[in-house]
C-alpha cells in the first residue's frame, strides 16, 4: 500500500503545475515531433521522364498515373489541341490557382509540382508530361510517405481535370 501511495503522490506532484507540467508538455511535443519528422523525406530520385514515361506507381494505393495499366492506379491523361507549349501554359495557370502548390521544375513539356497537406505537411509529387504526338498530357500524382492516401491523389487529379475541361 505504501508504494502505491508513494507513486500517487509523485504523480500528483508531477502534474501540480509549474515547471513540471511545462516539462511534461515539452517532452510530449518532442515525442510528437520525432514521430512526425519520420514522415519528412526528400524528393524521390525517380521523378522525371525516361524514355517517354513517368515513373511507375508503387504497389501502394497512394499513387495514380495516366500511364498505369493497373485499374487501382490508372487515371486518364489530359487531352489538348494546339501546341504542347500552349497546353502546358494553360496547365500552369490551373496549378497556380491551387492551394499549397509549388512548382519545382518545368520545361515546355514537363512540370513537377509539390503539393503540401494543410495539417501534417505531407508532400505529394505531381508530374505532368506533354506527349505532343498523342496530344495528351500524362499525369502522375504520388505520396512520398505512407501506404494509403485516402484518395487524395486521385481527387487532386480529378480537380485538375475539372479545371482543365472548363478552362
Residue 83 lies in a domain: yes
Residues 98 and 24 grouped into a single domain: no
**25 falls in which pLDDT band (50, 70, 90)?**
low
Residues 13 and 70 grouped into a single domain: no
Higher pLDDT, 10 or 109: 109
Which structural domain, as residue segments, surrounds residue 19?
2-37
Residues 79 and 157 grouped into a single domain: yes
**24 falls in which pLDDT band (50, 70, 90)?**
low
Residues 148 and 70 grouped into a single domain: yes
Model confidence pLDDT, tens digit, residues 47-59: 999 999 999 999 9
Residues 29 and 68 grouped into a single domain: no
What is the pLDDT of the chain when averaged over all its residues?
85
Q: What is the pLDDT averaged over residues 9-26?
A: 51
Residues 76 and 150 grouped into a single domain: yes
Residue 50 lies in a domain: no
Residues 83 and 135 grouped into a single domain: yes
Report field, pTM of the whole predicted structure over 0.85: no
Structural contact between residues 94 and 29, judged by C-beta atoms closer than 8 angstroms = no
Residues 15 and 76 grouped into a single domain: no
pLDDT of residue 31: 39
Give percent above pLDDT 90 in the chain: 75
Residues 75 and 138 grouped into a single domain: yes
- Res. 75: pLDDT tops 50: yes
Residues 11 and 73 grouped into a single domain: no
Q: What are phi and psi of 79, to 5 degrees?
A: -110, 155
Model confidence pLDDT, tens digit, residues 101-155: 999 999 999 999 999 999 999 999 999 999 999 999 999 999 999 999 999 999 9
- 58 closest CA partner among 43, 78, 72: 72
Q: What residue has cell string 519528412?
A: 40
Residues 71 and 26 grouped into a single domain: no
Lowest-confidence segment of 22-26, 73-77, 120-124 by average pLDDT: 22-26
pLDDT of residue 1: 53
Residues 33 and 72 grouped into a single domain: no
For the domain that residue 110 is a member of, what is the CATH number? Answer: 3.30.310.80
Number of domains in the chain: 2
The CA distance from 58 to 151, in Å, is 15
Q: What residue has cell string 489538348?
A: 80
Residue 58 lies in a domain: no
Amino acid at each position: 500500500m505504501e508504494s502505491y501511495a508513494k507513486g500517487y503522490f509523485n504523480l500528483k506532484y508531477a502534474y501540480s503545475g509549474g515547471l513540471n507540467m511545462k516539462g511534461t508538455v515539452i517532452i510530449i511535443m518532442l515525442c510528437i515531433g520525432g514521430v512526425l519528422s519520420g514522415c519528412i523525406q526528400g524528393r524521390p530520385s525517380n521523378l522525371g521522364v525516361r524514355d517517354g514515361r513517368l515513373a511507375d506507381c508503387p504497389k501502394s494505393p497512394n499513387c495514380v498515373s495516366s500511364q498505369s495499366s493497373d485499374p487501382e492506379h490508372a487515371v486518364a491523361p489530359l487531352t489538348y489541341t494546339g501546341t504542347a507549349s500552349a497546353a502546358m501554359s494553360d496547365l500552369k495557370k490551373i496549378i497556380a490557382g491551387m492551394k499549397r502548390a509549388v512548382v519545382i521544375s518545368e520545361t515546355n513539356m514537363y512540370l513537377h509540382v509539390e503539393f503540401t497537406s494543410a495539417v501534417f505537411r505531407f508532400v505529394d509529387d505531381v508530374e505532368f508530361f506533354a506527349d505532343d504526338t498523342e496530344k495528351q498530357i500524362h499525369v502522375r500524382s504520388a505520396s512520398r510517405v505512407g501506404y494509403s492516401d485516402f484518395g487524395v491523389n486521385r481527387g487532386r487529379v480529378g480537380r485538375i481535370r475539372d479545371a482543365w475541361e472548363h478552362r
